[in-house]
Amino acid sequence: MEKRVHNFNPGPAALPLPVLKEIKKDFLSFRGSGMSITEISHRSALFDEVLNNAVNRTKRLLDLDDSYHVLFIQGGASMQFCMIPMNLALPDRPVNYINTGTWSTKAIKEAQIQGKDVRVIATSEEKDFSYLPYDYTVDKQASYLHFTSNNTIKGTQWQQFPDREGVPLISDMSSDFMSRPFDVKPFGLIYAGAQKNLGPSGIAMVIIREDMLERVPDNMPTMLKYTTFKDNRSLFNTPPTFAIYVIDLVLKWLEETIGGLKKMESINREKASLIYEVIDNSKIYQGIAEVKSRSMMNLTFRLRDEELEGRFLAEATENGLIGLKGHRSVGGCRASLYNAITMESVKSLIEFMREFEEKL
């Protein structure tokens, strides 16, 4: 087997090695069928089992009751930015958003394009989204309150979700979904692009509560209605079968190998704390996010000048530490520690960071 690098890419991101090995083993003949998973019919019993397993594993991991539906929708999280207000904004009632960065801003824009009464009840824009705003008032008549649970670019994460004041919560959880347990009951809808903690790119998982489906207008394009996906088990048209297959394998790994979300959270917190310790005790590394708002998924930091950052990133790549360059919109450095990132990779990064500083 070829040597693998330490993959800190923010998405598409690392997948668990056991999952990749299982894909390789079964790729040419899925479960003895003589066909690849990419070749079997989405209407076949073989794929039906894959789809059902992915849904049932999701429900077990998140402790979902029958009032929640698990859907698979193409277009990634960005498609959800427009589908949410289109489907779930109630007539003559506002929609509330908390703006914590790029992805929140994009979601807000999509609702505004549709002419919805968009009210941004809190933002951290004045400090370049380096913290999470906790001072806000929710419109009690709002159709929903939307927030992004983890900001991949700035490295902030909600440790306690916003107080909803009885309004249904909707969250873009693309970059920290399945990284920790949480109470799903306040949420009317959760969505996550798969390419960070779930699987390959090109698909989003959407979890929607039954009562929210009652809001979906009839006079909408068929493929933009949540009811289409719920009524047809995400099989109205041909879904991305390979992506759903990989998601099922990742969920199986998370459930059976890791041991569930509590265990995953413990591992993730340890990984993040080890790297933050290096940053906080360094003379050349400086964290970007405010401490109380820090993410355990995307750790953002800078070095004392851009020239040194360039050297750091170049040498990291030479040492097999890939994907540490910050988002193009902000620069700096970022280590994405999604579920599949091993402690071995974390320790390799820590060792490199310390050695790099000691050489200066």
Residue 151 tokens, joined: 């900001």
For residues 254 and 264, membership in a common domain is answered with no
Average pLDDT of the chain to the nearest whole number: 97
Which of these is catalytic: 103, 116, 230, 325?
Answer: 103
For residue 328, the tally of other CB atoms under 10 A from its CB is 7
The answer to the question of residue 13 being in a domain is: no
The model's confidence at residue 1, banded by pLDDT at 50, 70 and 90, is low
Give the CA distances from residue 52 to residues 107, 188, 269, in Å, rounded to whole numbers and listed in that order: 30, 22, 31
Domain tally, the chain: 2
Ordered alpha helix ranges (H), the chain: 17-26, 45-62, 76-88, 102-113, 210-213, 226-231, 241-252, 261-280, 306-318, 343-359
The answer to the question of residue 57 being in a domain is: yes
Q: Which of 234, 258, 282 is the last residue of a domain?
A: 258
CA 107, 75, 296, 349 torsion: positive or negative?
negative
Q: Which of 258, 287, 314 is the last residue of a domain?
A: 258
Which of these is catalytic: 172, 176, 225, 325?
Answer: 172
pLDDT at position 240 over 60: yes
* Mean pLDDT value of segment 223-248: 98
The answer to the question of residue 270 being in a domain is: yes
pTM: 0.97
Which of these is catalytic: 116, 154, 196, 225?
Answer: 196
For residues 272 and 129, membership in a common domain is answered with no
For residues 71 and 189, membership in a common domain is answered with yes
* Mean pLDDT value of segment 250-260: 98
| 196 classed as catalytic | yes
For residues 33 and 180, membership in a common domain is answered with yes
* pLDDT the model gives residue 164: 87
CATH number at residue 233: 3.40.640.10
* Mean pLDDT value of segment 117-126: 98
Domain that holds residue 276: 260-359
| 158 classed as catalytic | no
| 103 classed as catalytic | yes
